[in-house]
Amino acid sequence: MLRTLPSPPPGGTESEKPTPASSHVDEAVAHSHDHAHLPGGGQDGHSHDHSHATASTTRLGWALAVTGTVIAAELLGAFWSGSLSLAADAGHMVVDASGLVIALIAAHLTRRPRDDKRTWGWARSEVLAAALQAGMLLIISVMVAWEAAWSLASPTHVEAGPMLLVGVIGLLANVVSLAILAGGRDANLNMKAAFLEVANDALGYLAVIVAAGAEWAFGWTRADAIASLLIAILMAPRALTLLRRSVAILMEETPASVDMGELRTHMMGVDGVIDVHDLHVAAVSSHLVTVTAHVTVTHEADGPCRDRIVHELGECACHHFPIAHSTFQLECPEHASHEHIEH
């Protein structure tokens, strides 16, 4: 749904009145759009989104319960068998569990209303949570790789039976978690990330099972260390990717899903637009992308024409790009000479 602010009255608004600084400031008019994709439309959209949020929270809660059970089983198994790979994956699962807890807290914070102090609300809490989780994953990856390197140099005997048993239990538990999260993996980016996280954990358990089988069948004592290295290799790239995406949002980089050249071309194609400058695209959170721009229009663009231009610019941002909020400042050609700062 596209909500367009009503056009300014003939007398102009307070923001459009000339100021002593420039005789052309009255030509610069700011318009803002919010593009809310509400399923079903109308007032039912809020309740529909709220039900989706409740369902996602429930799924995450159950996945957290399963993860906690697996952590307890892995720690017992690692203590019993002396398996480094089980201990390593237990640390990985602790990060997963803490990530789920942080995700639940962030989901609660993001539902808080906006105010004058936090004009975007707590939308970026999920980004901060993702950066924290990525840092934890990187630290654990380095620790696991270091311990695995020592174990390769000085292998120790592990009990393959308990290691295999707990590995199978962990794999089954992750399959259960995948089944729980599968129904909501497309609800939002967080749910999709949680689903992929659990899927990657399942691969880690396969590595544990293979290592246990090699130890049991062939007495290969280095299998556990190799499995630990595989788990670290699985963890590190994902952590780096998550950290890079989080930092990109915090630094307000242009999202990879938006081609600035293509966006500018689309905007320049709107009838009445003669120039687009100070174009900024940034993500407030993983699902909230915003655009602001100064748009120079022809002298012939009167009130109704400006409303049409803003409407078409908003439609362009909404339908051709993953942009949820847009703000455009319309200017006459002479106004450019009064802008002293390039953004």
CA distance 324 to 317: 8
Q: Say which amino acid occupies 7.
A: S
CA distance 330 to 273: 9
Query: What tens-digit pLDDT sequence spans the chain (343 residues)?
Result: 333 343 344 444 333 333 333 333 333 444 455 554 433 333 343 444 455 556 667 777 788 888 888 788 778 877 887 777 677 767 767 866 776 777 777 777 777 888 899 888 888 887 887 787 778 778 878 888 888 888 888 777 667 777 787 778 778 888 888 888 787 766 565 676 677 777 777 777 777 788 888 878 777 778 778 877 887 887 788 778 878 988 898 899 999 999 999 999 999 999 999 999 999 999 998 778 999 999 999 988 888 899 999 999 999 888 899 999 999 999 888 776 666 555 4
Instruction: Give me the count of residues in the chain.
Output: 343
Query: Torsion angle, CA of 49/52/54/56, rounded to 10 degrees?
Result: -140
Nearest to 3 by CA among 336, 324, 241: 324
Question: Domains in the chain and their CATH numbers?
Answer: 2-35+255-338 (3.30.70.1350), 49-250 (1.20.1510.10)
- Residues paired with 283 in a beta bridge: 289
Nearest to 263 by CA among 305, 208, 318, 209: 318
For residue 96, the surrounding DSSP H or E stretch is: helix 84-110
Three-class SS of residue 10? coil
For residues 155 and 221, is the Cβ–Cβ distance under 8 A?
A: yes
Instruction: List Cβ neighbours of 53 (8 Å cut-off, separation of 6 or more).
Output: 107, 111
Q: What is the CA radius of gyration of the chain?
A: 27
Q: Say which amino acid occupies 177.
A: S
For residue 95 the two structure tokens come to: 């990060």
For residue 284, the surrounding DSSP H or E stretch is: strand 273-285
| Residue 92, pLDDT score | 66
